[in-house]
Structure 1
Amino acid sequence: MIRINLGAEGLGGVRFAVSPLDSAKDLIYSLRRTPQALSADWRARTREALVQHRLGLLGAVGGGGPCGYAPDFLRPESQGFETSVDAALHRVATAPTERIGYELALAVNGHPWDPASGEGAPRPLLQALDRGERSFAHRLADEMAQFWHAALEPSWPGIRARLEADVSARATAIAYHGLADTLNRLAPNLAWCDGGLTLRLRPGSPHGLTVDARAVILVPSVFVNQAIFCAGEPGAPAPRTPLIIYPAAPADCLAPSGEDRLIGATRARILAELSEPRSTAELAQRLYLAPATVSYHLQILHRAGLVTRERRSRRVLYQRLGVRPRLGGCPRLGGGPL
């Protein structure tokens, strides 16, 4: 688990950003670590770009080292809402050498707050390290540029529009329902509580990290299915603002329908998922909601006679009764109980 303590000052520094280079890194990382988060088309396009352009080092480093850690200097800190590709690539190539060395050591040996997997470091990474940190950064910036133009640039206008729409929808949710509620709905493994953000690591990980921060940068991505923490660990050289990548809402979920407003968007989404029996935990994961939120709405739906409830072994499963209106299955971007 990662805990980011913000307090009043840090909460005032929370901001959103959109980054084309972040999206490129998310695409490479997801291909190796969570390929189910990508469509078949994006998996094929990513592999084709890496193979045809011989981007072996980028594939090895961007996909994560032995423990899944991918160096964060590939994801430069956004200075404004959006950083151009050329500016971001320049910052990759000129990253502080002490930061590069620190992150490459983590990529090879594993992160001290995350357990090692026993997997060996990729050979392209070890070979490139022999030429030194600056040469390593220049080569990665060059390979990232080739990958960007081959795989992502043709689709970027549409992706950017969706990311900007997501941020606009979050801003509206903050205005209507508050920042804390909106933060709680960004990702299934991210929660705001007691003056900070808590991000759950992969199941079974016994390790954790606590960060005291004055700000957090939130970056939506169409290529991830859960929140990812980057770059804010204490004690690192050339310290950076903590960065959280979160899954952008689907394109057709950025404006509520009249039917959703009729019975409430949250309960409409839950009903849409209950064409087959599902547990509270399954619904929470599919809808990017906290289990407690799902449980609250399930109780209301059950009392209203809209869902059935059945215990099977240690699980309680819910299923929809009757025929529902067309309500979609979109994550709610904000709001209290409906």
Structure 2
Amino acid sequence: MIELTVDAAGLARSRFAVSPLHEVVATLMPWGLQATPDTDPWVARARRVLRRARLPLLSELALDGPGYVPDFLNPYPSGPSPTVEEELEQVRCTPPERVLGELEALRDGRPRSGLAGSELPAGVRRAMARGGAHVARQAADEMRRYWELAFAPHWEAAKATLDAEVGRCAGVLAGYGAARLFNSLHPQIEWVEGTLRVESRFRIAQPVPLVVVVPSLVAPRPAVAVDPTRDEDRPPMLIYPVRDKAIACTIAPAAPSAEMAQLLGPTRAGLLAALIQPASTAQLAARHFLSPATVSYHLGVLHRAGLVARARSGRSVLYRRTPEGARLARSR
């Protein structure tokens, strides 16, 4: 159980933030290993990217590591709606000693909080040997690539959903007060007489100056990120899953059905399913780990069949599904 005690002044300073990088990091957590497309529309695709792209540090921490990612990958949101570039720069500029300290804590454990130690993967150890600054730069570079491949095409719709959740919470706060607001977030979050309680396998009980609340479309259950250095400039962050994911389920492209794959071929079916939003040949090639020439060939076939249309946008040619293509993609 995590218990955060917040006084009246701290409650008044507590705020919400919509964080793109927190959605990225949520797919690196242990729950992503058991997630399916039915539980979250992003996680399955993100895991495929993690396994297939050249992201050695992130993939080792998430897939081969101790089941926990270091806190410096979850930067403190500087405002209510930071950009992914701002957050990546925070990761890149993490003090080297903090980077190494958190990785050593993953190795050695934190007995007081219930985090058991575990041997770090070889690639992580090699990166650590080059220094904390090197690890921070490599992590930021890999997270940028991960973001571009698995998240960027869908962030606009995702952010709209998260902003709507913040609006809902603002209405609860205005109409019923802070206690009702916190108790409305999730069944595993409870506000009782000045203490915010979050069900967790970790054991933390401490007073905090305020709480930053971060809604998520990826996290399946609440989590609390507490700065291990107890830096008062970085209060804890409460990440919780949004209650209504009906909109979120339209964010990521669905996998093509077996029938559509048999009709069009798996590559063309995958490209057609991915064209929820207009995209260029280069964008589709990066997302599907194909050469631009291969994507161009298959898009040409779909275009001649009347399933996609194309139009120039600046120097790029963007492809989109036609009504016929959209109907075929939906007939799953």
Which of residues 250, 255, 260 is equivalent to 2:244?
250
Give the letter aligned to residue 106 of structure 2.
Answer: A
CA contact (8 A) 1:71 1:104 kept: yes
Question: How far apart are 1:64 and its partner, in Å?
Answer: 8.7
1:37/1:223 contact within 8 Å kept: no
- The equivalent residue for 1:307 is none
CA contact (8 A) 2:50 2:59 kept: yes
Superposition deviation, residue 34 in structure 1: 4.9
Mapping of residues 25-44 of structure 1, within 5 Å:
25-29=25-29, 32=32, 34-35=34-35, 39=39, 42-44=42-44
1:12 and 2:20 matched:
no
Pairwise CA RMSD of aligned residues? 2.5
- Do residues 192 (structure 1) and 187 (structure 2) align? no
Q: Cα distance, 1:113 vs. partner? A: 2.7
Q: Does 1:48 align with 2:48?
A: yes
Specify whether residues 32 and 64 from structure 1 end up closer, same or farther in structure 2 by C-alpha distance, changes over 3 A only: farther
Q: Which deviates more, 17-26 or 107-116?
A: 107-116
Shift of 1:36: 5.2
Query: Which consecutive residues of structure 2, in runs of 5 or more, have no partner in the other structure?
Result: 249-332
Q: Indicate conservation of the 8 Å contact 1:62/1:71, yes or no.
A: no
CA drift of 1:237 comes to: 6.0
Q: Percent identity?
A: 32
1-side partners of 2:132 and 2:232: how far apart? Answer: 15
Q: What is the CA–CA distance in structure 2 between the aligned matches of 1:168 and 1:131, rounded to whole Å?
A: 45
In structure 1, the gaps of 5 or more residues are 255-338
Counterpart for residue 209 of structure 1: 204
Question: Once the two structures are superposed, what CA deviation does each residue of 1:117-145 show, in whole Å capped at 9, x if it has no partner?
Answer: 57532222222111110000000000000
Residue by residue over 1:35-92, the C-alpha shift from the partner in whole angstroms, topping out at 9 and shown as x without a partner, is: 25864753431122113322121123356942x3311111111111111111111110
1:225 aligns to 2:208 (yes or no): no
CA contact (8 A) 1:17 1:217 kept: yes
Q: Which amino acid aligns with 2:239?
A: I
Residue in structure 2 matching 1:240, options 221, 225, 234? 234
Q: Distance in 2 between matches of 1:104 and 1:140?
A: 12
CA offset at residue 166 of structure 1? 0.4
Tell me which amino acid in the other structure corresponds to 2:149. A
- 2:22 maps to which residue? 22
Counterpart Cα distance in 1 of 2:117 and 2:203: 19
Paired AA for residue 248 in structure 1: V
TM-score by length of 1: 0.67
Partner of residue 94, structure 1 = 93
Q: Which moved further from structure 2: 213-222 or 112-121?
A: 112-121
Give a deviation string over 1:153-189, Cα, whole Å, max 9, x none: 0110111010000000011011111111110121222
SS at match of 1:29: coil
Contact 2:108 2:117 in 1 (8 A): no
Q: Deviations over 1:273-321 (max 9, x none)?
A: xxxxxxxxxxxxxxxxxxxxxxxxxxxxxxxxxxxxxxxxxxxxxxxxx
Q: TM-score, normalised by structure 2?
A: 0.68
